[in-house]
A and B are shown apart, each in its own frame.
Chain A
Amino acid sequence: MFYREAGDFSTTYPQDSQTFPIRFDRWRYYAVLFVAIFVIPFMINDYWVNSIFMPFLIYAIAAIGLNILVGYCGQVSLGTGGFMAVGAYACYKLMTAFPEVSMFIHVLLAGGITAMVGVLFGLPSLRIKGFYLAVATLAAQFFLVWMFNKVSWFYNYSASGQINAPERDTFGILITGPNTEAWATYLFCLIFTIFSAVVARNLTRGSVGRQWMAIRDMDIAAEIIGVNPLRAKLTAFAVSSFFVGISGALFFAVYLGAVEVGEAFGITKSFLVLFMIIIGGLGSIFGSFAGAAFLVLLPVLLKIIGVDWLGWPTDIVAHLNLVIVGGLIVVFLIAEPHGLAQLWRVAKEKLRLWPFPH
């Protein structure tokens, strides 16, 4: 019914291989983009941006990045927090060193620097696999956080070790600092989110992505059929770290404005992003969005219901939040180990046949 393919003919190869081959799907995608770009910026205020949209968009980028590494290339990483920190500190150093340069460039460069650091820490992946690699990336996590705490050059020798985003703009519009407009920061993050999603989606559809998936599914077989594991693994680390670095830069510069490395980019952050892609769905771009939305929105939702509506004490709601999120993760993993993305896929299949199931 909803996903009718009747009358939807592909006459060329590009038409057949596009991201959304079903017309209804494609129009819905355009509608979401339209609402996100042309409707939401006119409706939102500081609260909506800072509590809901910005964390969602930024975590979505981080989840896409990690999903490339874990979901597509099969290399388990617990260093996401550390790589986000690299993005944040690179962005800070660039912002303070070149104040006149546009924020777009700073964020992209921060992503590039993180990609290089990611490749460096990806080198052990050529030798070790699975849990052992997870432990190696865990070392990256702790080392990077320790380094940003220890070496005062990274925080410009400030007394407190905090980094603070000064006011910076792009095309004359303030993007960082306290006097930003809600729509400006929202659109800035949205552009990066759309960019990341489109790039990631197309990379994973192409030869690079196929190499990653071959390595994920069975690395020896992949090697035998001619996939270069060095190149495949390191490109996965580089691309993944690039996106994670962008999200770290946005997280610090646009979203929080002031960051303390141990608190903002600790091991909990790595786990949070990992949970996002596990709940959302490994190896799926949509899953990255769904997981980020789930883990960002659920606590806010529970707080609004518990504290604002029901008037419960804040500590009870905070504890309940842990219980409910934890419980839902367990339920999801048992009921649908492939995450929200798989649920969506199943729903789509059903809707295609509905209302005639056979």
Chain B
Amino acid sequence: MTLKLGTWAIAGLMAASPVAADLVFPSLSYRTGPYAAGGIPFADGYADYFTLLNERDGGIGGVMARVLECETGYNTEKGVECYESTKGEGALVYQPLSTGITYQLIPKATADDIPIHSMGYGRTSAANGDVFSHVFNYPANYWNGASGAINHILEVNGGDISGKKIALVYHNSAYGKEPIRTLEKLAEKHGFELVLLAVDHPGQEQKSQWLQIRRERPDNVIMYGWGVMNQVAIQEAANIRFPMENFIGIWWSGAEIDVEPAGDKADGYKALSMSAVGDDFPLYDDLRQYVVEAGKAAGAGDQLGTVPYNRGIYAAMLAAEAVKVAQKMHGVDDITSGQMRDGMENLVITDELMTELGLPGFGPTFSVSCENHGGEGLVAVTQWDASAGEFVTISDFAPTDMEVIQPLIDEDSAAYAAENNIESNCN
């Protein structure tokens, strides 16, 4: 009886939406919950870039872009619901901004012929396009991040970190566990000692972890955190007077909102980056003119230029460029998700292209191929300047230790291919 009642109730409410010629970009955003601090600006940036393209250029190649927002709350069940409810609308590419949801969608989206762009998150070994035909994680992945952090520590210490103690404070989930294997390999290679400290979801309670850091006295701390966990960790680090310049976060742990609660004590905190900081780009003039002042900004419209907002802009820019590549390749304007995948696979980002788009130096240069879905993995380092209230890039996009990372990617993706009977995609 419940089944029947429920069926009728929902059946009455479901309305088929009109199918028009447009490019659909679902945005599985989270504006609620403990991870909203990062989710809101990212979703705003993602939506605003497409609004700008529609308002200024009349869409992409003459076809309007439509952003379908669906709230997931960083919850995998809601993520599935969002995926199922948006895929029928002609979704071109999914960017779930959650490693858990990405893991879930990898097999589903591959079966449905829809690409996933997990930009700097998700399953790292998806960089092997030979196995993961529909998953892309350019421009850099978690293992590039781990190596980038170690490279930076090496650089600061004159190239020798043997005998040093480095702690990893990580979100106790697939996301936080990703870098462990790489760091273990790097610890062998460079001779440092690795201390692992897990922080459970959502990360508000970290007293014991930082007490342990106080006791073990590591020389450096690397953090893989997200949402409220970042703010708490930086506050705790400030409380135990851990030297901030030895504290380095992954790119998801380096937003203004993460460091601001700790005030001046957060000065000197470092974070990796795969997109530029600040709003000093020609594109932002257009954004203000066509989107913000026209009252069409997503959300409250107050996030312009923050780190996660820029990353949303960057993700949208990469998606829009992939659409252009696909339109050129297939000679049609209203592309399908399969064509979008081809476009992503042949994407090349150069300095000229970024300058042309009004975003000079906004991200690293890279090119995608059938075998390599992860780009070249260049990583930059930023540092928080509390008095100026902004992140400053202190080292430019630099290569990471692919010697260590590539065998790990090959090993993990081969295991996935064997487990799921996946044949080579590229030959």
Contacts and interface: CB of A to CB of B under 8 A. Distances in A.
Nearest to A157: B415
B100 interface: yes
Contacts of B106: 258
A314 B29 contact: yes
B70 A314 contact: yes
Contacts of B69: 307, 314
Nearest to A193: B3
Residue among A262, A293, A297, A313 with most chain B CB within 10 A = A262
B110 A318 contact: no
Interface string B1-16: 1111111011001110
B174 interface: yes
B80 A51 contact: yes
A36 to B, nearest CB: 5
A334 B329 CA distance: 63
Contact of B71 (A50, A56, A317): A317
Interface in A146-164: 149, 159-162, 164
A55 B77 contact: yes
Residue among A162, A266, A301, A308 with most chain B CB within 10 A = A162
A283 B338 CA distance: 51
Contacts of B76: 256, 258-260, 263-264
B123 interface: yes
A26 interface: no
A159 B36 CA distance: 27
B6 A56 contact: yes
Interface in A136-180: 149, 159-162, 164, 166-167, 177-179
B201 interface: yes
A199 interface: no
A307 B100 CA distance: 24
Given A161-B173, A301-B13, A315 B77 contact: no
Interface in A299-337: 300-301, 303-305, 307-309, 313-315, 317-319
B420 A300 contact: no
Contacts of A166: 419-420
Nearest to A293: B2
A263 B173 contact: yes
Contact of A290 (B2, B71, B87): B2
Contacts of B87: 46
A257 interface: yes
A28 interface: yes
A319 B40 CA distance: 14
Nearest to B415: A158
Interface residues of A, number: 53
Contacts, number: 142
Contacts of A317: 71
Given A56-B6, A260-B100, A314-B70, A161 B177 contact: yes
Nearest to A99: B419
A51 B82 CA distance: 8
A123 interface: no
A52 B10 contact: yes
A229 B14 CA distance: 50
Contacts of B117: none
Nearest to A149: B172
Interface string A45-58: 01100111001100
B181 interface: yes
A149 B170 CA distance: 13
Contact of A179 (B2, B111, B178): B111
Contacts of A315: 31-32, 36, 40, 71, 299
A289 B71 CA distance: 26
A256 B103 CA distance: 10
A314 B26 CA distance: 13
A332 to B, nearest CB: 16
Given A51-B84, A315-B71, A159 B419 contact: no
A32 interface: yes
A35 B4 CA distance: 8
Nearest to B39: A315
B81 interface: yes
B58 interface: no
A343 interface: no
Interface secondary structure of A, over-half rule:
helix
Nearest to A29: B1
A162 B9 CA distance: 36
A28 B1 contact: yes
B6 A293 contact: yes
A159 B104 contact: no
A121 B9 CA distance: 40
Given A35-B4, A46-B84, A304-B13, A262 B173 contact: yes
A179 B112 CA distance: 9
B178 to A, nearest CB: 6
Residue among B108, B178, B180 with most chain A CB within 10 A = B108
B84 A178 contact: no
Contacts of A258: 76, 100, 103-104, 106-107
B14 A304 contact: yes
Nearest to B29: A314
A318 B31 contact: yes
B75 A263 contact: yes
B84 A47 contact: yes
A28 B4 CA distance: 11
B174 A35 contact: no
Nearest to A264: B76
Contact of B80 (A32, A50, A286, A305): A50
B38 to A, nearest CB: 14
A94 interface: no
Interface in A267-301: 286, 289-290, 293, 297, 300-301
A40 interface: yes
A50 B104 contact: no
Contact of B201 (A29, A162, A266): A266
B181 to A, nearest CB: 5
Interface of A: 28-29, 32, 35-36, 40, 46-47, 50-52, 55-56, 149, 159-162, 164, 166-167, 177-179, 255-260, 262-264, 266, 286, 289-290, 293, 297, 300-301, 303-305, 307-309, 313-315, 317-319
20 contacts: A36-B3, A46-B84, A51-B80, A56-B6, A159-B180, A162-B103, A164-B103, A256-B76, A256-B80, A258-B106, A260-B103, A260-B173, A262-B200, A262-B201, A264-B76, A293-B2, A293-B3, A300-B10, A307-B71, A308-B17
Given A56-B6, A257-B107, 7 more contacts: A32-B1, A46-B87, A167-B421, A262-B173, A286-B2, A308-B15, A315-B40
